[in-house]
């Protein structure tokens, strides 16, 4: 149980274009999902907290207009990287916590999306 | 805010040996401490977690200990196997807050 599916697993796009990444909780509902970014051989950096039916909460230094987050249902959150540039190339990972559980309960992660901007 | 330090950054052991990874946290209000295993090109996978009301938890070859007074927690892997080779992350979350703060990661290499 507690499977988080992320799509696509890899994407290559040209500079200036936009890319959408989907994160789905397959067997549970998630009122909150989290988006992380990970550079090679580094830790996970939280970008934003995605709340179902409301605006996302962005971490300091993360451009909300560049990284658009939509959490339209209890099983789907999307991250859109707008006007992508080579410096946006990274590994993006989403995670979700089952709705109704306390904050000290497990976060389940997707398998990430490798974005390469050429 | 919470800060989590993790050591060592790399750890090489022989198959069958034990491996220990240590983390310290800064905020005494933290009450949930999960450990994740990340294999190359994949997302982190939860392997064990502990809450602040217990001092130790075991799951087969994996155990986690928590010392609230010293604000540190450790992951213990016994009888290591080559398939244990991965990057391990500790994390902590503060009571009442949703976010997890991750450590910097430990690359574990188990040689046959």
Picking from B38, B43, B86, B88 by the largest number of A CB atoms within 10 A of its own CB, the best residue to mutate is B43
pLDDT at residue B52, as a whole number: 86
pLDDT at residue A103, as a whole number: 76
Helix (H) or strand (E) holding B12: strand B10-14
In this predicted structure, the answer to whether residue A1 has a pLDDT above a threshold of 80 is no
Tallying the residues shown for chain A, one arrives at: 118
How confident is the model over A42-95, as pLDDT tens digits?
999 999 998 888 889 999 999 999 999 999 899 999 999 999 999 999 999 999
pLDDT at residue B70, as a whole number: 95
**What count of other Cβ atoms lies within 10 Å of the Cβ of residue B18?**
11
Interface touch B32/A105, C-beta < 8 Å: yes
**Inter-chain Cβ pairs, chain A and chain B, closer than 8 A:** 57
Q: Residue window 47-76, chain B: list those with CB within 8 Å of chain A.
A: 49, 51
- B30 touches B39 (CB < 8 A): no
* Residue B58 DSSP one-character state: E
- B64 touches B50 (CB < 8 A): yes
How confident is the model over A35-51, as pLDDT tens digits?
999 998 899 999 999 88
A82-111: average pLDDT: 91
- Note every long-range contact of B67-73, with CB atoms under 8 Å and residues 24 or more positions apart, other chains counting: B68/B28, B70/B24, B71/B24, B71/B25, B71/B26, B71/B28, B71/B30, B72/B22, B72/B23, B72/B24, B72/B25, B73/B22, B73/B23, B73/B25, B73/B33
pLDDT at residue A98, as a whole number: 87
pLDDT at residue B53, as a whole number: 86
- Shortest distance between the Cα of B49 and any Cα of chain A, in A, equals 8
- Flag residues of chain B having pLDDT under 70: 96
A9-38: average pLDDT: 95
How confident is the model over B88-104, as pLDDT tens digits?
999 998 776 778 999 99
Helix (H) or strand (E) holding B21: strand B19-25
CB of B45 less than 8 A from some CB of A:
yes
Residue the block writes with tokens 């971490």: A59
């Amino acid at each position: 149980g507690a499977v988080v599916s992320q799509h696509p697993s890899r994407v290559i796009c040209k500079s200036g274009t936009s890319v959408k990444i989907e994160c789905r909780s397959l067997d549970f509902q998630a009122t909150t999902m989290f988006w992380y970014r990970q550079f090679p051989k580094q830790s996970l950096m939280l970008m934003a907290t995605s709340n179902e039916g409301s605006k996302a909460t962005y971490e300091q230094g993360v451009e909300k207009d560049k990284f658009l987050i939509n959490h339209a249902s209890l099983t789907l959150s999307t991250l859109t990287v707008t006007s992508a540039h080579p410096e946006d190339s990274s590994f993006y990972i989403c995670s979700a916590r089952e709705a109704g559980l306390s904050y000290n309960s497990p976060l389940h992660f997707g398998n990430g999306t490798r974005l390469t901007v050429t | 805010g919470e800060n989590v330090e993790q050591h060592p950054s790399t750890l090489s052991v022989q198959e069958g040996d034990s491996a220990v990874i240590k983390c310290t946290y800064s905020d005494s209000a933290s009450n949930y401490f999960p450990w994740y295993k990340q294999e190359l090109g994949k997302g982190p996978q939860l392997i064990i977690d502990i809450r602040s009301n217990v001092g130790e938890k075991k799951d087969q070859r994996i155990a986690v200990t928590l010392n609230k007074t010293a604000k540190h927690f450790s992951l213990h892997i016994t009888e290591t196997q080559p398939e244990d080779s991965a990057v391990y992350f500790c994390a902590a979350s503060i009571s009442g807050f949703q976010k997890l703060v991750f450590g910097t990661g430990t690359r574990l290499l188990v040689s046959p």
